Structure 1
Amino acid sequence: MANKTSKKPAKVAKKAATKRVTAKAAKQRKTATRSSARKPTKAAAKKPPAHHAMPKASATKTKSPAVAAKPALLSGGNPQIAKDYGDAPVQAYIAAMPGWKRDVGLRLDALIVRTVPGVHKAVKWNSPLYGVEGQGWFLSIHCFTKYIKVAFFRGMSLRPVPPGESKSKDTRYLDIHEDDPLDEAQLAAWVKQASQLPGERM
């Protein structure tokens, strides 16, 4: 009987110890699982967050293009335009013509274009020039303080001869003042005649 009694407590103690070891191991496994869930793997650490996948829109505001400087006005209010060929420099000259002269400039340019389809244009010596390819320039415009001067380079060959005299034997002028009526029919006739004559080579 004594032997059986002594064996029983030993068995119970052994069972209790095993249970404690099992519980401790389970607790360690649980702690390790939580730690691994919190700590990312090396591969996960290298992967950038999803919000870095697309670049952010720039916060810098787009600046509006610089406004081109207005051409300076030379003596007599004549616009200073760089030498160039085509319609663009002529339109820049007309846009810079001061006051009432701008409207007259627009009317003159439109009349010339209507009268001589395909007319060639340029700005040289701060004056718009009009010509025909292969024939040279037949007309120019220039601003003065109180009037616009239209120069016909073969004016002496026009009929009737334009009224303004010139130091050049061939050139004649038409001066247009602010309150002068513009005889567009006569002007168109001079432009057409001038475009059919040999022009100036400049």
Structure 2
Amino acid sequence: MKNENQIGEQNVQAWIDGVKPEHSSIVSRIDKLIREVIPEIRCTTKWHKPSQPLGVPFYGLPDKGWMIALWSFKDSVGIGFIAGTLLHPEPPVTKMAGPWNRAIEYKARRIDIHNDKDFDEKLIRSWLKQALELPGWSKID
């Protein structure tokens, strides 16, 4: 019998395998970077619905909750940070509706990557390291 972490890993890999071909290299680089910076990371997908049957990938730690989410939009890949307003510099995209934005002391923020040239590994790595010290959202079982 597979444990919940194995199922989460499989769901995230299915999401990565299912993104548009033009986003494939970007999401693979992001996933690899997350796992490199935070080797003990857990992942799963949430919010499966007809418009996004593979869901939304979330990454987090059991003692923190979910810290990072990914999206494949029409023209970009989004990396969301649950405590984004506490990151330095703050990610630029403020439109991140969801239950994680109910905290008063911080809000989620996102960066959208349109192509490989937009992929600022140094900045994303910095945000991932900072996220380890910041609050997450919900619980990871």
Using the size of structure 2 for normalisation, the TM-score is 0.78
CA contact (8 A) 1:141 1:148 kept: yes
Aligned length: 119
Say which structure, 1 or 2, has more relative contact order (CA 8 Å, 6+ apart).
2
Specify the alignment match of 2:28 in structure 1.
106
What is the deviation of 1:146?
0.7
Query: What percent of counterpart residues are identical?
Result: 32
Separation in 1 of the partners of 2:56 and 2:87?
A: 22
Secondary structure at the residue paired with 2:68? strand
Which structure 2 segments of 5+ residues have no match? 1-5, 48-54
Q: Which residue identity is paired with 1:161?
A: E
Report which of the two structures shows the higher radius of gyration computed on alpha carbons. 1
Task: State the SS of the aligned residue for 1:131.
Answer: strand
Deviation >2 Å, runs of 4+: 166-169, 178-181
* Structure 1: gaps of 5 or more residues: 1-83
Residues 85 and 140 of structure 1: is their aligned pair in 2 closer, same or farther, counting only changes over 3 Å? farther
Which structure: greater helix fraction?
A: 1
Structure-1 residue corresponding to 2:44: 122
CA deviations on 1:134-169 (whole Å, 9 max, x unpaired) are 210001001111111111110000011111113546
- Aligned counterpart for 2:63 among listed residues 116, 134, 150: 134
Q: Output the CA distance in 1 between the equivalents of 2:13 and 2:118.
A: 23
Higher strand proportion (structure 1 or 2): 2
Q: CA RMSD in A?
A: 1.7
**TM-score normalized by structure 1?**
0.55
The question of whether the paired residues in 2 share the 8 Å contact of 1:85 and 1:121 is answered with: no
Is structure 2 residue 82 aligned with structure 1 residue 153?
yes
Verify the 8 A CA contact 2:26 2:116 in the aligned structure 1: no
